[in-house]
Structures are given as C-alpha cells and as structure tokens.
Structure 1
Amino acid sequence: MTFKKLKQFLSKKKKKQMLFFHYLKYFSLKQPKQKQIVVCFDGLFTHGGLVDRLKGIVSFYQIAEQLGYDFKILFDNPFTLSTFLEPNEVDWELKRRNLTWHPTQSKCLYLVNNFTAIPLQTIKKSKANTFYVYANIDYSKATFPELDTQDLEQKWRADFNALFKKSELLEEKLNEMTSEPYIAFHSRFTTLMGDFEDTTHKVLSVTQQEQLSKQLLAIINRVKAESNKSAYVFSDSINFVNYIKQNTAIKVVEGNPFHMDNFSKSSQLDGHLKTLIDFFMIANSEKVYFLNVKPMYNSSFSKYAAIIGNTEFQVLET
C-alpha cells in the first residue's frame, strides 16, 4: 500500500469513528415511518462554500424524489440555513433535537469530494431506513444519465426552487441593491492575492498581483464597452474588489468576501449574508462572465448562480 493510499484509508477510518460517536448520542429504537435522507451541515466536517453545499442538497433531494423517500436538511453550522433560504414547497428543515440513530436502521454516508460515487444505487441497495449524508458534489448526471446538459440545468433549477425561497432578510437586502439591468463579472483567486485563506497556498508577488489585476480590468472594460450595460464585479478577493473600486466606476457589493468553512469566524453572519447576496445578484444579472486567466482558479459559484437565474454564462480567459 502506497503512503497516499494509507493516508486515505486512515482518514476514512477516522471519519467513520467520528460519525459513529457523533450519532451514538442520538440512539433511539424509534424509527421514521417513511424512509428518509438527511443531508447534514453540522460542523462535523468541512464541505466547501455555498455552492458546494447546495450541490449536495439538491443532489440528494433528487435521489429522495427518485426513491420516494422523505427529505430533510440539517444545516445549523456555520449558520442556520433558514436565516437566508426558507423551505418553499418541501418541508425540509430538521433540528438536532429530532435526530434519531439506530445501529442497524441508520446509515451514515460521507461523500465529500467523492466524484466517483453513485449514491442513488448505494441508497437503493441499502436496507437502512435513515441516511445521514455529508456531501458536496452534484450527482445529477449520475442520477439522470438520460438528460443532456440543458435538461439537467433546467431540472436543477426547478428542484432548487422547489426547496427554497428567499427569507425576508435576504429579499430585503437584495431589493436594496439595484433595479437596473446589469451584467456580472466573477473571479476566484483563493490565496493568489494574499488576502484569502483556503485549501490552496500559492501567493503571487505584489508585482504579479498588480499585473493580473490590470489584465482582468482590461478584459472587464472591453466586455462592458461592448455590452453598453451597467456592471458589477464579484470576487473572493477583497484586494481585487478594492482595486476595482479605486480604478473604475464599475460597481461592487460592499463587504468582505467570506468562506463558509472558516469555522473560526462562523459567528460573523454578515459575511455569510454577503455570500448569499453575491450569489443572487449574479443570478439576477443579464449575463454572467467568469474570469479565468492563468493562474486563477476555477469556480462553480457563478455557474450555478447562472443556472438558478436561467442566465447566459460565459468563461473569459483572455
């Protein structure tokens, strides 16, 4: 066994132990009348950002629908999901006090960053009644192999809207933003600009940061001139957001970009609110442009916002 495989094996074993001792606290012989899937975001594991969590949620709602299972979401870390997104057509909210765990009838599935899993088949073959799922992948293609990309996006959008409606707080904040048409530019730097903690570690020099910012601004100005529309820039880098503010009249959403897996600052609700505002601002735009110039990183944040908003999406690399 290679060192990498040994590390993966030990990590998987450790997570199984964590799950066992975590759910042992909820031991109960009482079981739900209907089989159910519960997608969990309870601080036990990292999941990634907002969209990673939404991928896991929608994927397992789709699986629950396919199998005729009840569907619930336990999302109370790093904030309570219903603070921003409330149940719409589906009564999905589950509190910790309502958790039950049975040694043979409950099953935990840890699928974070597991791109090869086919969870529909895993759950379908299992004899368990309750499935506690930790996931951050969009499995819709594996669940619906007969659908093309356009149909998958349409279904994802419909299922998201069946699950969620904006809370009064989120709706109020979005209504304060703008009523005029605009295009949206989105960029993901992670650690490149030296202002963001993430799973990556590369930081550009000050000179490289400035060169990349100038290159991106040139692209933004060119596209904006061609579209002749108002524009907003969204980014995970406060340094780039500030650069845009200082060098153009292009609009930004005020506030500091924030990552949901930053547990040390999980009490900062305003940071999470900004993430939701950015997401729905992008969804409500006339067109979405994702800036992906080397050595920048890919992101599905604006792609899924465009899917929800049924908005045209384009990647700009030069």
Structure 2
Amino acid sequence: MTFKKLMQFLSKKKKKQMLFFHYLKYFSLKQPKHKQIVICFDGLFTHGGWVDRLKGIVSFYQIAQELGYDFKILFDNPFNLSTLLAPNVVDWELKRSALTWHPTQTKCLYLVNNFKANPLQLIKTSKANTFYVYANIDYSKATFPKLDTQALEQKWRADFNALFKKSELLDKKLKVITSEPYIAFHSRFTTLMGDFVDTTSKVLSVTEKEQLSQKLLAIINRVKAESNINTYVFSDSINFINYIKQNTTVKVVEGNPFHMDNFTKSTHLEGHLKTVIDFFMIANSENVYFLNVKPMYNSSFSKYAAIIGNTDFQVLEA
C-alpha cells in the first residue's frame, strides 16, 4: 500500500468513527414510517462553498425522488439554511431533535469530494431505512445518464425551485439593490490576492496582482461597452472588488466575501448572506460572464447561478 493510499484509508476510517460516535447519541429503536434520505450540514465535516452544498442537496433530492424516499435537509451550520432559503413545495427542514439512529436500519454515507461514487445504487441496494448523507457533488449525470446537458440543467433548475424559495430576509435584501436589468461578471481568486483564507495558499506579488487586475478590467470594460447595460462584478476577493470600485463605474454589492466552510471560525450571518446575495444577483442577471485568466481558479458558483436563473453563461479567458 502506498503512503497516499494509506493516508486515504486512515482518513476514511477516522470519518467512519466520527460518524458512529456522533450518531450514537441519537440511538433509538423507533424508525420513520417511510424510508428517508437526510443530507446533513451540521459542522461535523467541511463541505466546500455555497454551491458545493447546493450540489449535494439537489443530487440527493433527485435520488430520493427516483427511489420514492422522503427527503430532508439538516442544515444548521454555519447558519440555519431556512433563514435564507425557505421550503417551497417540499417540506425538507429537519431539526436535530428529530434525528434517530438504529444500529442496523441507519446508514451514514460520507461522499464529500467523492466523484467516483454512484449514490443512487449505493442507497438502492442497501437494506437501511434512513440515510444520513454528507456530500457536495452534483451526481445528476450518474443518476440520469440518458439526459443531455440541457435536460440535466432544466431538471436541476426545476428541482431547486421545488425545494426552495427565497426567505423574506433574502428577498428584501435583493429587492433594495436594483430593479434594473444588468449583466454580471464573476471571478474566483481564492488566495491569489492575499485577502482570502481558503484551501489554496498561492499569493501573487504586488506587481502580479496589479497586472492581473488590469487584464480583468480590460475584459470587463470591453464587454460592458458592447452590451450598453448596467454591469455588476462579483468576486471572492475584497481587494479586487475595491480595485473595481476605485478604477471604474462598474457596480458591486457591498460587503466582504466570506467562505461558507468558515475557515476563520466566524459564525456571523452577514458574511454568509453576502455570498447568497451574490449568487442570486448573478442568477437574476441578463448574462453571466465568468472571468478565468491564468493563474485564476475555476468555479461553478456563477455557472449554477446561471442554471438557476436560466440565463446565458460564458467563460472569458482573455
């Protein structure tokens, strides 16, 4: 066994132990009337950002639909999901007080960053009644292998809308920003600008930051001139947002970008609210442009926002 495989084995074993001792305190011989899938965001594990969590949620709602299982979401860390997204058609909200664990009828699935899994088959072939799932991958291609990209996106959007509607708080925040049409630019730097704590560590020099910002601004100005419409820029870098504010009339949404995996251990809602506002602002735009100039990082944040909003999405690399 190689060192890498050994570490993966030990990590997997550790997570199984964590799950066992976490759910042991919910021991009960009482079982739900129907088979159910519960996707969990309870602070036990990291999941990635906002869209990673949505990917996991929609994926397992789709699996629950296919199998005829009840579907619930336990999302109370780092905030309560219902504060920003309320149940729509589906009554998905589950409190910790409703958790139960049976030694043979409950199964825990840790699938975070597991791109090779086929969770539909895992659950379908299991004899368990209740599944507590930790996941952050879009498994819709594995669940619906016969659907093309357009059909998958249409289904993803329909399933998202069946699950969620904006809370009064989120809806109110969005309405005060603008009522006019606009286009949206999105960029992901992670640590490149030296202002964001993430899983990456590379930081550009002062000169490199300036050069990259100039390249991106040139792209934004070119598209803005061609579209002749209000323009908003969204980013995970407050330094880049400030650069935009100082060097152009392009609009930004006030607030400091914040990673949902809570790397700084901060639990205040405003930072997470900013992320969700950005997501729906992008979804509501006329066109979405993702800026991906080297050495910037890829992101599915604006892609899935475009899917939700059923709006045109383009990647701009130069």
What amino acid is aligned across from residue 136 of structure 1 in structure 2?
A: N
Contact kept, 8 Å, 2:40 with 2:134, in 1: the verdict is yes
Q: What is the rounded CA distance, in whole Å, between the counterparts of 2:201 and 2:267 in structure 1? A: 25
Determine the structure 2 residue equivalent to 1:299: 299
CA RMSD for the aligned pairs? 0.6
Q: With structure 2 as the length reference, what TM-score do the two structures score?
A: 0.99
Tell me how far 1:175 sits from its aligned partner. Answer: 0.3
Q: What is the rounded CA distance, in whole Å, between the counterparts of 2:207 and 2:103 in structure 1? A: 58
Secondary structure of the 2:288 match is strand
Q: What is the rounded CA distance, in whole Å, between the counterparts of 1:22 and 1:309 in structure 2? A: 38
**1:121-151 CA-partner distances (Å, limit 9, x unpaired):** 0000000000000000000000000100000
Determine the structure 2 residue equivalent to 1:65: 65
Q: What is the rounded CA distance, in whole Å, between the counterparts of 1:16 and 1:236 in structure 2? A: 33
**1:263-290 CA-partner distances (Å, limit 9, x unpaired):** 5444210001111100000000000000
Secondary structure of the 1:19 match is helix
Determine the structure 2 residue equivalent to 1:20: 20
Contact kept, 8 Å, 2:197 with 2:263, in 1: the verdict is no
Q: What is the rounded CA distance, in whole Å, between the counterparts of 1:93 and 1:264 in structure 2? A: 27
Determine the structure 2 residue equivalent to 1:114: 114
Determine the structure 2 residue equivalent to 1:315: 315
Determine the structure 1 residue equivalent to 2:41: 41
What amino acid is aligned across from residue 255 of structure 1 in structure 2?
A: G
Contact kept, 8 Å, 1:260 with 1:266, in 2: the verdict is no
- Gaps of at least 5 residues in structure 1 are none
Any runs of at least 4 consecutive aligned residues in structure 1 with deviations exceeding 6 A, and if so which?
none
**1:152-193 CA-partner distances (Å, limit 9, x unpaired):** 000000000000000000000000010111000000000000
Q: Percent identity, please.
A: 86
Q: What is the rounded CA distance, in whole Å, between the counterparts of 1:264 and 1:89 in structure 2? A: 35
Q: What is the rounded CA distance, in whole Å, between the counterparts of 2:49 and 2:185 in structure 1? A: 19
Determine the structure 2 residue equivalent to 1:207: 207
Determine the structure 2 residue equivalent to 1:171: 171
Cα gap change, 1:14/1:199 in structure 2, threshold over 3 Å: closer, same or farther? same
**1:34-83 CA-partner distances (Å, limit 9, x unpaired):** 00000000000000000000000000000000000000000000000000
Secondary structure of the 2:274 match is helix
Query: Equivalences for 1:1-318 in 2 at 5 Å?
Result: 1-262=1-262, 264-318=264-318
Cα gap change, 1:269/1:134 in structure 2, threshold over 3 Å: closer, same or farther? same
Q: What is the rounded CA distance, in whole Å, between the counterparts of 2:111 and 2:276 in structure 1? A: 24
Q: What is the rounded CA distance, in whole Å, between the counterparts of 2:68 and 2:264 in structure 1? A: 38
How many residues align? The count is 318
